[in-house]
Each structure stands twice: as C-alpha cells, then as structure tokens.
Amino acid sequence: MTPPGLPYGAPAFTTIKLEHYKPALLSAISTGKAQVDAIVNDPGEPGFCNTVEALEFSGEEVKRIAQIFSNLNEACTSGQMQELARDLSPLFTEYQLYITLNEGLFNKIKTVYERRDSLDLNPSQLRLLTETYKSFSRNGANLSAEDKKKYGAVQEQLAVASLKFSQNLLAATNAYLLLITDPARLDGLPEFVREMAASEANARNRHGWVFTLDYPSYSAFLKYSTCRELKEEIWKAYNSRCMEEFDNRQIMIEIARLRIESAQLLGYDKYSDYALEPRMAKTPQAVNDFLNNLISRSLPYAKKEIVAIRHFAEIKGFTEALMPWDFSYWSEKYREEKFSLNEEALKPYFRLESVVDAVLGLATRLYGLRFNPVTNVPVYHPDVRVYEVTEQDGRFMALLYTDYFPRESKRGGAWMTTYRDQSVSEGREVRPLVSLVTNFTKPTENTPSLLTFSEVTTLLHEFGHCLHGILTEGAYASLTGTNVARDFVELPSQIMENWAYEPEFLQSFARHYLTSDPLPQEWIDRIVAARNYLAGYNQVRQLQFGLLDMAWHDITQVPGQDPIVYEQAVLAASAVLPQVPGTGSAPGFSHIFAGGYSAGYYSYKWAEVLEADAFSLFREQGVFNKEVASRFRDCILSRGGMEEADVLYRRFRGRAPEPDALFKKLFLE
C-alpha cells in the first residue's frame, strides 16, 4: 500500500486499485497470524516484550489496509467498492477473532498481567498491559469453546449488518433529488443557494435547480425557502430515509439484537452495561441520570423559545401550525430580527480558504505548529489537499489531509480520521497521517466556497480532533491520539468551537471575499450576543439523540414494535415540535448503528460539560494564553489514552469538572 520512497510513508492512493485490496489483505492476514502464532509458540517465559508488546506491533499491514479501505469507503466510495466491502468485512472480523479468541495467546497475556507488579514496567507499559488484558476479557477470551464460536458468529454478523446500514443510508441519501424548473419556486432563496443548486443541476445534466439531502443543500432550502409545500417534501424525504427503499428498520433491530446477545454472552445484562464500563460515565444509570437531569432543566427554556418563534411567525402573518419543516425558516427570521444578524449577509465574510488559514493559524498561535502545503503526496480525489505539519524547530509532526466538498461518493457529515496512528517502533518514531473530511458548499463558477457560521464552528470542531491526533506523543498506537474513552474524545474538538465567538479571532480573518472589508464590529458583537440563541432547543435536540441511543442499547430485548413507533414513544415527553407519523431519525442514525457511538451518543453533551469547564480556564487567563494552551497540550492532547480520562482532566484543571459549567456557559441558569 506504500511503495518504498513515498514521502512520509503516505498511502499510494493514485496507484491503489480495488483489485489490490483482497490479495493484499489475505497476505497481510497470513503474516499477522504467523506473528500471533510466534508469540503463542515462543518457548520462553511470557513477558511484557515477547507477549504484550509483540502483539501490539503485530499485524501492522492489516491495520494499514483496514484504515485506508474503510476511510476511502466513507469518503470516496463506489458501487464496486461497497460490494468489495461486503467481501472484506468478514475477513477483517475473522482476523480480529483469531486474536481475541486465541486461548493460547490469552493465557500468556493473563500470565503477564498476574505478574504485573513484579515486572518493573513504566507507566505506558503498565497501561498497555492492563488495557490489553481488559480488551481480551471484554472480547470473549474467558468464554468456553462453545461460547467463543457463538461470540465469533455474532461479531461477524454485526460487522456485516453495520456495513449494510451505512451503505443503505448513503444510497437513500443519493436516491432523492428535488428538481425545480420554475424560478418562482425559488422565492426566498439567496443567490448563493441558487448558484449551488444550479451547479448541482448542471453536474447532473438537469435543467433548472437541484436540491439534495446532502446537508448544505437540504438545510439551506429549509432555512430560506418560502415554499412551504416543497419544504415539507424535502423534510419528509430526509426524515424518512431508509424506511422504504434501502430499508434499515429490520437491520436496526438485528443490530440491537446481536449487541444484546454479544453482551449477554460476556456476562452483562445489557449492551449498555458492556459499552459503558471503560468510559468516564461507567454505568447506564449514570448516563440516564445525566441525560434526564439536563432534559428536565433544559425543556422549559426550549418550550419558551418555541413559543417565542411561533408568536413571531403569527405576527408576520403565518397562521398554520408550526411544523418541523417550518422551524428553520422562522427561527432564522426571528434570529435576523432579534439580533439584526443575517446568515446570507455573513457568508461572504467566511470564504473557506480564509477560514482554513485562520484555523491553522490558531494552532500556530496556541501550540506553535506550522502547516506547509505539499504537492508530492498522492491524494484519493482532486479536492483533497495535504499539509506537512511541523513544530517551530522543524520537527515533523504529521500529514494533514483535508477534503471539504460533498459528492455522491462521500457520506454526509464531517469527521476526522487517521490513515496511520502515532507510535514508536524499534526505537523509531512513526508520526500520524490525519484526515479532516467535511461537506461544505462547493465553489461555483462565480462564487468561492462560502461557509455559514455554523460551518465555521464545524471546521473548528473537527480540527480539534485533528490536533488530538497530530500532537499525540506515545509508544503504542492503541493508546495514542483519539484512542481514548468515547465520552472524553469530544473534549478536544468541542473546546475549539469556543474560539469562533472570540472577537479577536474573528477580526483576524473575516473579510468580504469581494471587497476585503473586515466583518463590521457591530456584526461581531451580534454573533457573540446570538451565541446562545435557541440554546434550550438545541440542547434538548442533542439530548434526544442521547435518549434514543440509550433506548436502543439499555435494553434486554429488542422492541416489539415498529422502530419509528418506538422512537416516537421514547421521545414524546421531550418533544417540543409536533411529531410527524412515518418519520424518524433512527434509520439514518449512523453514529449509533454504524459509527462507533452505540450507547455513547451522550458523550457529546458529557464532553460539552468538560469543555465548558476547561475553557473557563482560558477565559480566566486569556483565550490565547500559551501557558494554558501548553498545559492543555501536555495534559490532554499529547497524552492520548495513556491514562484514565478523569486523571488527565484533573491534572489539567486541578480539580474535577464542575457540572454546572455548561449551564453557566449557555446563560440558562
């Protein structure tokens, strides 16, 4: 996958072909299994180096192929690649099971673990030993031979089902388009939205304007269009994805059933008991209490906000019931009037290239990093750009790949991932290859890519994850970068969003792309003032996703009713807008059914409490204070998962997080 001499050990994207993957994987698996067998058959006494560390560095090529293939399958896929994914998925799973259910290997690891106090291990070694032992225990190593077979079969079925869920969601998203040929039906849409839709139509060889379920297109139409009939259509299309064609409902039930079976085989009552054990929250009770406490405190504010928007719409002559497809439009109009803040007027000040330069510059200001564009590294798509990331003294830290624009071959949303994690192997440091992927509005013939303010915060968020990957320092890849507790991993990303509301930061880059005029100070003041607009509504909406996640994973048997009916029952008590029969979010909820956040979606809010408390230290000592930034880097960003998350946080903050920090930040209490 990486020919000799390629800079930085980067993947050879331009020469990798689909037919290369399977033979390369089979060869890598054969080598990886031989390395495992060598550990098991070593006649020497099991020790840290010849057992635990040897396992950590085994199967490197399998990991490499897995990272490249899975990342490209998310960002630049095809029908053939998805078909290949269904073929390769069982191979990856079988290889993992060959390791985790290997009785001889586990016995050696257990022997080392039981002798850990006498081995004179350094903290990183002890952490790796402990986490390796726990991982084996949590993946069936203590099961009987018969139950190991059952567990292995369940894992293989889960891998296939999750992959199918993700493929269905992409297909359903791509299957819909709203074609408008009558200019009168574009009423309310600003010019940049019309240009985007015309460009999409042109790309599809259609006459007129095309809107899709890709978020920049979908959300812009809902926010600005005055055509209520079409807004209802596109809203229902988005919120009924994977319910008929590319149906995910039975797949969801199967995934939930398999997770319950998997957890119960391992001795847990529920999947949530299993999933939460290694996280900061520890127990389902703690998560449910956390979610319900925030819901109960937030609902009154959310309901007041809905009443205010409904009243505003009525004043403006809107006499219908306020439905979900109306909300974006009227909440935006209310925001414009309340804060004299117009999203369309703001966009020209947030040219993508300028925002990127500012975000990278922020990392330079806080952490001393340098980002140098390079062109001698292969990329998987013409839209991708690559930076060499270095320290001030020239030390190479990482490659950063950026991929900003939507396409049919890319799933929706925004994310950070890696093509290689950081480690130290045989005395040689291996630095990470980090990727940042989004779905921002494409440039057109007449207009560059201009971001909404929320997209500016999205870029900062994902870049925070990138910094977690770039700045990590450690010996073992499984303990570096974002390989941390799920409810801790969002701290580095969410804390970065705070700078979007700092006037000095905005002043540094927000200039009109045509005139170069700076964003007026009064507009900056309005952005800051509007920061907590709809704070209650947005908080409840995010918490509802957490409730829905727990409803699918804090159970001992799958729901006996249609998943959409089940969802509406779960969310009824916290609903602030009318529930629409036949629509729901679960069939498209890839985070929990295909994305690693099962029994973990609460972690966004959990981490938001952490970041609100953590950023308060920047507030106290200066938002660009290098000493605080250095402390955050040393205590959080560089440490990966080498210590428990609560230990790392206490070391940074000097105390446990204050739970009320989030409400103080939102001015709700």
Percent over 70 (pLDDT), the chain? 99
Compute how many other C-beta atoms are within 10 angstroms of the C-beta atom of residue 385.
17
Phi and psi angles of residue 80, each rounded to the nearest 5 degrees, phi first:
-65, -40
Q: Strand (E) positions, 404-555?
A: 415-420, 423-425, 428-430, 433-437
Q: How confident is the model at residue 426 (pLDDT cuts 50, 70, 90)?
A: confident
Residue 661 has pLDDT above 90, yes or no: no
pLDDT digits (tens, 9 = 90+) for 334-352: 999 999 988 888 999 999 9
Q: What is the DSSP string of 154-179?
A: HHHHHHHHHHHHHHHHHHHHHH--EE
Compute how many other C-beta atoms are within 10 angstroms of the C-beta atom of residue 209.
25
> How much is the average pLDDT of 69-87?
96
Q: Where are the domains positioned within the chain?
A: 7-100+102-142, 176-238, 348-534+604-666
Q: Which long-range contacts (CB under 8 A, 24 or more apart) does 48-51 make?
A: 48/112, 48/119, 48/121, 48/125, 48/129, 51/108, 51/109, 51/112
Which single residue is written with the structure tokens 């070694």?
125
Residues marked as catalytic: 462
Considering the four listed CATH numbers 3.40.462.10, 3.40.50.410, 3.40.50.720, 1.10.1370.40, the one that applies to the domain covering 348-534+604-666 is 1.10.1370.40
> How much is the average pLDDT of 315-325?
97
Q: What is the DSSP string of 436-472?
A: EE--PPPP-SS---B--HHHHHHHHHHHHHHHHHHS-
Distances in Å between the alpha carbon of 35 and those of 29, 60, 98, 484, 658?
Answer: 10, 10, 12, 26, 47
Phi and psi angles of residue 181, each rounded to the nearest 5 degrees, phi first:
-110, -15
Q: What pLDDT is attached to residue 128?
A: 98
Residue 659 has pLDDT above 90, yes or no: no
What's this model's pTM, rounded to 2 decimal places? 0.89
pLDDT digits (tens, 9 = 90+) for 605-658: 999 999 999 999 999 999 999 999 999 999 999 999 999 999 999 999 999 998
Q: How confident is the model at residue 667 (pLDDT cuts 50, 70, 90)?
A: low
Q: What mean pLDDT is reported for the chain?
A: 95
Residue 595 has pLDDT above 60, yes or no: yes
Q: What is the DSSP string of 302-358?
A: HHHHHHHHHHHHHHTT--S---HHHHHHHHHHHHHHHH---HHHHGGG-BHHHHHHH
Q: How confident is the model at residue 7 (pLDDT cuts 50, 70, 90)?
A: confident
Residue 191 has pLDDT above 80, yes or no: yes
Q: Over 195-215, what HEC string results?
A: HHHHHHHHHCCCCCEEECCCH
Q: What pLDDT is attached to residue 664?
A: 82
Give the pair of three-digit tokens for residue 195: 């240009």
CATH class of 7-100+102-142: mainly alpha
Strand partners, 518: 511
Same fold, 7-100+102-142 and 348-534+604-666: no
pLDDT digits (tens, 9 = 90+) for 211-259: 999 988 999 999 999 999 999 999 999 999 999 889 999 999 999 999 9
